[in-house]
A and B are shown apart, each in its own frame.
Chain A
Amino acid sequence: MEIYLPIAEMSVHWLLILGLGGGIGFLSGLLGVGGGFLLTPLLIFTGIPAPIAVATTASHITASSMSGALAHWRKRAVDLKMAAVMSLGGILGTGAGVWLFGVLRRSGQMDVAVSASYVILLGTIGALMLRESLAALRAARAGSPQRLPGKHLWIHGLPFKQRFPASRLYISVIPPLAIGFAVGALSSVLGVGGGFIVVPAMIYFLRMPTNVVMGTSLVQIILVTAATTVLQSVNNHAVDVMLALLLIAGGVIGAQLGVRAASRLRGEQLRALLAVVVLGVGAKLLIDLVSRPADLYSVMSGG
């Protein structure tokens, strides 16, 4: 059955969107990734206009992050102070991103900018995931555990130091603010949660203890994607609540199934598989960018 999307002003098959939300939710539950970086390009492939896809994916990420964050919250594995500092940067970044989004949309460069950014993003994530999962597979075979070296980084010399008791850290607020800002901007322009940047940044850069990293990043992602949804609604009228509902409903169910499946499946091999999918989507976008389009002309009505 077709369902009409009142903001996108088009009709889509509801099962397709529900299935897409469910599939991405399953992956996020299984592998602990948000999946926005796959959901947005897939929505664009199904014919949803890029601005609507980018803006609406944010609310899907809010829902799946909320679902995950509650589990960490019960275990007290959240550094609220760190999440608040990063979200402050994130909300500022979102503001900048939503402004940029509007400029790109009006100048007609939105689609190219989104595609090109995704090629870089998916290429990088895919390559990193593939390398990491292959290394993990080798390590599992060799039986040697991986550990982080305790180096002293240049970030410890920055001013405005704050105590973060839950993370047992005493560091400057500048790095978390900057990371938050970058992720907020990415979130609003590309429709991604940014967990793939926040989590490694917290572990390798801020040196937060790994047990609070997941919960803290999820809380930060909830706040940033919520801000993205509100700002995109106000500035660009690009959030379609019907599309969001279908994606969310599929997503939360898929995520719970994914969490269950995770205990029965081998993580490293799945990660390698996902890495290949991510690289494939990136390659498709790259081919579309560099090959001569079937029609050189495109149309935007109104304005």
Chain B
Amino acid sequence: MAFAICAAVPAGAAENLVSGLSQDRIDITSSYAGADIVLFGAIERPASDARPDIVVVVRGPDQDMRVRRKDRVAGIWINRNRVVLRGMPSYYFAAGSAPLDRIATGATLREYGLGLDSVVPRSTMGRHDPEPFRRALIRHQEAAKLYVQAEGGVRFLSGTLFRVHVPLPASAPRGKYVAEVFLLRGGQVIDVRSSTLSIDQTGLERRIYDFATLDPLAYGLSTVLIALLFGWLSAVVFRRPE
């Protein structure tokens, strides 16, 4: 993918991009309910007065997704068929300055991974045709606001300056995110810029998570102690005269 991008960008191109994120680090604290980041960008030395097309893609860390399909067995619906989609983004956001199918051809969009139709697994495992399972995953992630395709989400503030809002729900997993900005003219990619963003738990949340994963026995015992303490406290505080 990186190789393809390098090859597509002509050396010494006059027209290029600069971009930046409103923050490169999101801290999950106890009141964390998702975040809204802003990506800014500008086109330097525009090749013509006609406004070029901009596509912004933000991908979360890759994950293996198990997608199951329910079937009716003895009157109840249970999970029967399973396909594992390897290397799917845990979060995916795509926005263009126009609807993506008007910016470039399907082949170009797929080549650069632009748009939900281009979100494909690295490999699959299972006895069934993976395509319905992939579409189901995208539907599921869209409903959870983890996959977003915002047609026309890139707003031009002037002829060369643009901005896009990237909404990250609270359920977006921790890890390293990559934001890529594509500059296109006539359906051809002219320049690409990428920047990274990390989401991680901090403070108390971080300590709880580490405690629970690194020393689960002590974590479990502490939870029990807290429960016993609360139970005892309430019995003492609310003790009725006998």
Contacts and interface: CB of A to CB of B under 8 A. Distances in A.
B141 A1 contact: no
Contact of B220 (A60, A234, A301): A234
Interface stretch (B153-161, B190-198, B226-234): B226-234
B90 A60 contact: no
A179 to B, nearest CB: 22
Contact of A70 (B69, B75, B82, B235): B235
Contact of A60 (B28, B33, B227): B227
A7 B209 contact: yes
Contacts of B226: 59, 241, 244-245, 248
A300 B68 CA distance: 8
A39 to B, nearest CB: 14
Interface stretch (B37-45, B59-67, B114-122): B59-67
Given A70-B231, A244-B226, A290-B76, A4 B32 contact: yes
A60 B231 CA distance: 9
Contact of B140 (A239, A297, A302): A297
A286 B134 CA distance: 29
A245 B219 CA distance: 13
A11 B216 contact: no
A241 B208 contact: yes
Contact of B227 (A7, A62, A108): A62
Contact of A234 (B216, B232, B236): B216
Nearest to B137: A299
Nearest to A65: B231
Contacts of A289: 76-77
B201 interface: yes
Interface stretch (A150-158, A166-174, A223-231, A267-275): A223-231
A292 interface: yes
B48 to A, nearest CB: 44
B67 to A, nearest CB: 5
Contact of A4 (B29, B70, B82, B242): B29
B223 interface: yes
A9 B67 CA distance: 20
Nearest to B133: A297
Given A63-B227, A229-B227, A10 B171 contact: yes
A233 B63 contact: no
A298 B234 CA distance: 41
B80 to A, nearest CB: 10
B156 to A, nearest CB: 34
B234 to A, nearest CB: 4
A116 interface: yes
B240 to A, nearest CB: 8
Contact of B230 (A63, A109, A233, A300): A63
B53 to A, nearest CB: 32
Interface of B: 28-34, 63-72, 75-79, 82, 90, 132-133, 136-137, 139-141, 170-171, 173-174, 201, 205-206, 208-209, 212-213, 216-217, 219-224, 226-228, 230-236, 238, 242
5 contacts: A3-B31, A6-B208, A66-B232, A226-B227, A297-B69
